[in-house]
Structure 1
Amino acid sequence: MVKKVAIVTGSGRGIGRAIAERLAQEDYYVAVADIDQDTAKHVSDNINATKSGYATYYVLDIASRTAVFELVEKVVAHFGRLDVFVNNAGIAFIDSIIDSDPTQVERLFDVNIKGTFWGIQAAATQFKKQGDGGRIINAASLAAVEGSALQGAYSASKFAIRGLGQSAAKELAGDGITVNAYDPGIVLTPMRDYIDQKTASIKGITPELQRQNVVNEIALGRAAVPEDIADLVQFLVSPGAKYITGQSILIDGGMRFH
């Protein structure tokens, strides 16, 4: 049986790392793609060392369409095909809308919106060539369901990813390609640490109080860990999810109900 092949962007740490490791455990060949070479190599080496799967690493800035298409070409040349593309990479910054720095806004849109667009383009192009379908999974957010104060640009980008995913799902369904997204709430990652620290600074409270305030909104009483998100992605690439497309699934422990 030919193993399946997955690309996971932004998989040098946090949620992306957990997804890459989970797919490797599920017997995928995994391309660990990240803008940070050291973290990408570390994750790839760990996967190979634990014999939980097989991985290679690639340096990637998803804001570059050329780089994203070249990555798909390299992975297909190495592994022979592509089955799953996880558009996990993304960035955030915390500031009020009126104080947001234009350079930060433009970079965030380049990475989060355009990067996801290029990932869908590149993956779908390869899936169409292969002719036997494929799975595209995008990283949205709770901020894609309800806009967050001090995260105007980030929320806008994640709402865009939801709309983009719905459009892609409609266009690609005839080719057997599904497109879905995961919407995490509060996840214990380095990005979350930054969000809590910066938000606390603006509000004039401690990072610990800021973290506790948001955890208090979670019905299940705890923040998520990256492995919780990997559980959902594992399902979305499984045979059991073959009839699901165009969906953006909240995984927030019960912070919001829609």
Structure 2
Amino acid sequence: MSKVAVVTGSGGGLGKGIAERLAKDGFKVVVNDINAEAVNSTVEEIKGRGLDVIGVQGDVSKKEHQFLLVQRAVEAFDRLDVFVNNAGIDVVTPFLDVDEEQLNKAFSINVNGVVFGTQAAAEQFRKQKTKGKVINACSIAGHESYEMLSTYSATKHAVKSFTHSSAKELAPYDIRVNAYCPGVAGTAMWDRIDEEMVKYYDHMKPGDAFREFSGDILLGRPQEPEDVANLVSFLASDDSDYITGQAIVTDGGLVFR
């Protein structure tokens, strides 16, 4: 029987890479994003390879959307096996300029979304009485706290904490909860980080922030979506059944934990 995986924030970037890899691994995949156009585009790409996929537009910060997402997955494929809480946003601001709107938006998506997604998935796993896996998007910013990224770092520290605590509470139900912690990738998110850094540091030119961060990577190159997808593929597989409550760094050698 084919397993079923939901990947939030998979209309593009790392999430799209994860959805594509899980589909290639044999999962029936549910692509989810707040951007309906991105959902449709990714679904068509994956379908074009003859793989089993549907798309569901939704806002992860809304609890009812997360539970509806799981419902749609089960309606389409009869079950759920893996839920990837990938959706997230970046916030690049000096600490003294952090405001209420930024905090509320970042935490509602990056943290609330993970909580609601985990709750929705866990409810379905318990209903099925089957093993289940929740895989959360953390970050190297969940292990370090970076200047100009104080809000983003705080949200990812919260994701790491929820990963630990939910793993402890859900283990009796045969549910594993882990997180993947990417580093510096050439995605739209890093384009935005680079753009914002230039505004606040006079000595920086476009591309400098990305080069500065990626220049310290031991393996000598920025991250590709496939690098993250490889780890998620493992965490979604039976080979990782004895792993839970971990926030695993995949950054080419940048942060050591």
Q: TM-score, normalised by structure 2?
A: 0.98
- Aligned-pair Cα RMSD in Å: 0.8
Match of 2:80 in 1: 82
Match of 1:218 in 2: 217
Match of 2:70 in 1: 72
Q: Secondary structure at the match of 1:98?
A: helix
Q: CA deviation at 1:28?
A: 0.7
Match of 2:236 in 1: 237
Does the 8 A contact of 2:194 with 2:208 survive in 1? no
Q: Does 1:48 align with 2:47?
A: yes
Match of 2:247 in 1: 248
| Structure 2 residue identity aligned to 1:251 | T
Distance 2:127 2:8 in 1: 21
Distance 1:7 1:257 in 2: 30
Distance 1:209 1:132 in 2: 48
Does the 8 A contact of 2:163 with 2:245 survive in 1? yes
Alignment of 1:1-258 (within 5 A): 2-51=1-50, 53-204=51-202, 205-258=204-257
Q: Secondary structure at the match of 1:31?
A: strand
Distance 1:128 1:12 in 2: 28
| Structure 1 residue identity aligned to 2:192 | Y
Q: TM-score, normalised by structure 1?
A: 0.97
Distance 2:114 2:218 in 1: 30
Distance 1:170 1:239 in 2: 19
Distance 2:171 2:91 in 1: 34
Q: CA deviation at 1:207?
A: 2.2
Distance 1:234 1:66 in 2: 27
Q: CA deviation at 1:212?
A: 1.4
Distance 2:89 2:225 in 1: 16
Distance 1:238 1:78 in 2: 21
Unaligned runs of 5+ residues in structure 1 are none
Distance 2:60 2:219 in 1: 34
Structure 1 moving runs of 4+ over 6 Å = none
Q: CA deviation at 1:101?
A: 2.8
Q: State the identity as a percent.
A: 42
